[in-house]
Structure 1
Amino acid sequence: MLRRTYGDMDLCYEGGESSRTATSRAVQVVTEVLNSGWKNAVIVSHGNLISLLLGHLDQAFGFEEWEALSNPDVYELSFTGPASSFKRIWMP
């Protein structure tokens, strides 16, 4: 079931939200943090939402990468002007 939500961003199961809606919510939070003026911030979430955000930044990050996430997992996101990047900085 979850795999389908990566291929169809508008697929929404009863009682849930689509991947497109969830991604938009995550991007909004990151945008708010970037506009806050803080130099560094920590954002914590669950693996599915993290993978959707990373997929928004790099379309190569999808379901298979979600499957490879550990619990917990830590990524560092960097934003320089309009450019963004991320790297995995810790895993158990």
Structure 2
Amino acid sequence: MNKILYVVRHCKASGQEREASLTEEGQQQANELSEFLSEYPIKRIISSPYKRTVESILPYAEKVGIEIEKDERLGERLLSPSNQSNWLELLEQSFQDLSFTLEGGESSQDAINRVKSLIEELVEVPEEHIALISHGNLATLLLKIFDEVYGFDEWKAMSNPDVYMIQLKSDGREVRRIWR
């Protein structure tokens, strides 16, 4: 087996809500992302259905003629349905204790299980190069599935956009950041 997953964090957006668009800067970043991804033989694109993720990959998808598949399993992780003044501390706690959850929110473990079900399906498909477009929090948890080192500090260090490559081989796997 040889499969490469490109985990892409969306470009700069105007907000966190589901329908938040990219900013003007984010639109420019999406064009830069399109040029960057053109170096890779991606055959399938699966995105969170959130507007900012779809807009981030749209220039590339149009350029190469690949349909964007939308999958809720790549959607933003909801830490809490209400605003939390100490959200950053709570987010850090959720990376340290994967079962930690706030009322109405999703634990890190639940988010991992959600995205893991997608990964398990993708291991079985014929396409070898697949781009997954998501959000910083979920992307970090997705990377954690393949390398335990990923956590709160790695989330904080991510840029908008960002791109990581997960290479799955019969004899192991490798995770590395490829965005410039």
Q: TM over 0.5, yes or no?
A: yes
Q: 2:172 aligns with which of 70, 83, 86?
A: 83
Q: Which has the larger radius of gyration?
A: 2
What TM-score, normalized to structure 2? 0.48
- Structure 1: which 5+ runs fail to align? none
What are structure 2's unaligned runs of at least 5 residues?
1-89
Counterparts of 1:11 and 1:44, CA distance in 2: 25
**Runs of 4+ residues over 6 Å off in structure 1:** none
One-letter amino acid of the counterpart of residue 107, structure 2: S
The verdict on how the C-alpha distance between 1:34 and 1:66 changes in structure 2, with shifts beyond 3 A counting, is: same
| C-alpha RMSD of the superposition | 1.3
What is the aligned residue count? 91
Deviation of 1:67 after TM superposition, in Å, equals: 0.4
Alignment of 1:15-30 (within 5 A): 15-30=104-119
Equivalent residue, structure 1, for 2:156? 67
Q: Deviations over 1:33-57 (max 9, x none)?
A: 1111211111111010110111221
Q: What SS does the corresponding residue of 1:41 show, helix, strand or coil? A: strand
Greater relative contact order (CA < 8 Å, ≥ 6 in sequence): 2
